[in-house]
Amino acid sequence: AQKVTQAQTEISVVEKEDVTLDCVYETRDTTYYLFWYKQPPSGELVFLIRRNSFDEQNEISGRYSWNFQKSTSSFNFTITASQVVDSAVYFCALSEALLVNFGNEKLTFGTGTRLTIIP
């Protein structure tokens, strides 16, 4: 069974500090996708990034960066020079399909990390 662990329940940092959100996953599949979503206080879910299991290249998007390491089954998310607008709950998610048949695909979310940026 697939599993996603976000061990950090809550994190608080002072504005402009860097912060890393951890995500560790478990899967038996060789092909899978990893995602990060943001849920700001307004409640909607915002897609941030998708990574497939064959692409271990790290990605940077502005102040956001993601470190994918298959060796440790981790897909960590770093915010550089944090801002108050980064305050949100962040979810890591995993998609796999052990069988290439309809009815076996699922997207599993971690329990989320609540990030608070203190002005």
Partner 1 sequence: NAGVTQTPKFQVLKTGQSMTLQCAQDMNHEYMSWYRQDPGMGLRLIHYSVGAGITDQGEVPNGYNVSRSTTEDFPLRLLSAAPSQTSVYFCASTISVRGRVTGELFFGEGSRLTVL
Shortest gap between Cβ of 10 and partner 1 (angstroms)?
11
Q: Going along the chain, which residue ranges are E strands?
A: 3-5, 10-14, 19-21, 24-26, 32-39, 46-52, 59-61, 64-69, 74-79, 88-96, 106-109, 113-118
Q: Is residue 41 near partner 1 by the rule CB under 8 A?
A: no
Nearer to partner 1, 61 or 101 (CB): 101
List Cα–Cα distances, 115 to 55, 71, 97, 106, 112, in angstroms: 27, 26, 31, 26, 9
Stretch that binds partner 1, among 20-28, 30-38, 69-77, 80-88 (CB under 8 A): 30-38
Shortest gap between Cβ of 31 and partner 1 (angstroms)?
8
Q: Is residue 35 near partner 1 by the rule CB under 8 A?
A: yes
Q: Is residue 47 near partner 1 by the rule CB under 8 A?
A: yes
Give the interface with partner 1 as residue ranges (CB under 8 A): 6, 9, 31, 33, 35, 37, 43-45, 47, 50, 52, 91, 93, 95-97, 99-112
